[in-house]
Amino acid sequence: MARDNALWGALQGGAALTAAFYGSNAAGLLIMDQTRGQPLREVGQALRDALATAHRLLVVALLVLLTLAVLVAALLLPLAASRLPLVGPWIFALTVPVGVVLLGAATLGVVAVVAPLAAPAIWAGCGVLDCLRFLREQLRARLLHAALLMSAVSLLTAAVAGLVGFVVVSGGRAGLFGYGLRSLGAAGAPVAASAHGMAALIGGGVVFALALLLPGLVYLRGACAVYLALSEEAVGEE
């Protein structure tokens, strides 16, 4: 029985993640249309396009992970060789600074370029190879520029999240002024068991979802704008 419940829970979790992945890609396609100033496609068309193209993002992520694994393996080999007598300390002395720089640059590249810009590249119509070429070009020539632009987007997103949080917290403290759920029922009655309590749980869930949605939309719009700006720079340099 417990095994069946675990299997059913895993299936539900997988279905939820799949729906969230393709749904977010459909939303990204609509945001890319808006950022480009193009007419928005229908929601159904966006879902069909997401089903047809979102797997490219998974392939890009897999290839990036494989590249990082190769980089880590390349650093582990000289570290293993540093245990050799005589030459080991010299190998270690050379490996440490090189490893620190490479791992730091790789982390910055993944956080500032690969993670935020891979999806907009796919939403703009790039294939896997085109997306990888774009990411490689940004990592090679415009890493700091892209990092600064995405930092600005992150700060703007944090500001929006702070404003949304202020609105939600301020509205949620209405009970302090005598207008909470307890003002709708008898004194001492369990609020959660009442119809108003259940309605409040549903409404609170909607508010929480909106509070997460708005900063996410701001971030995606900013990432799409950064992608388009960097793409135009690359075309202008050619």
SS3 119: helix
Q: Does the residue 16 lie in any domain?
A: no
Length of the chain (residues): 238
| Distance from the first to the final alpha carbon of the chain | 63
Nearest to 71 by CA among 102, 110, 97, 95: 102
- Residue 212 located in a structural domain: yes
Range of the domain at 200: 142-238
Residue 136 lies in a domain: no
Among 107, 120, 148, 155, which residue's Cα sits nearest to residue 231? 120
Number of independent structural domains in the chain? 1
Q: What is d(CA 124, CA 131) in angstroms, rounded to the nearest whole number? A: 10
Say if 202 falls within a structural domain: yes
Would residue 29 count as lying in a domain?
no
Give domain status of residue 176, yes or no.
Answer: yes
Residue 199 domain flag: yes
Tokens of 165: 């949080």
Q: Is residue 223 one of the residues assigned to a domain?
A: yes
pLDDT, tens digit only, all 238 positions of the chain: 556 677 777 788 888 888 889 999 999 999 999 999 889 899 999 999 999 999 999 999 999 999 999 999 998 888 888 888 888 888 888 888 888 999 999 999 999 999 999 999 999 999 999 999 999 999 988 889 999 999 999 999 999 999 988 887 777 666 545 555 444 544 444 555 556 566 666 766 777 777 788 898 999 999 999 999 998 876 666 5
- In this predicted structure, what is the pLDDT of residue 32? 94
* pTM (predicted TM-score): 0.80
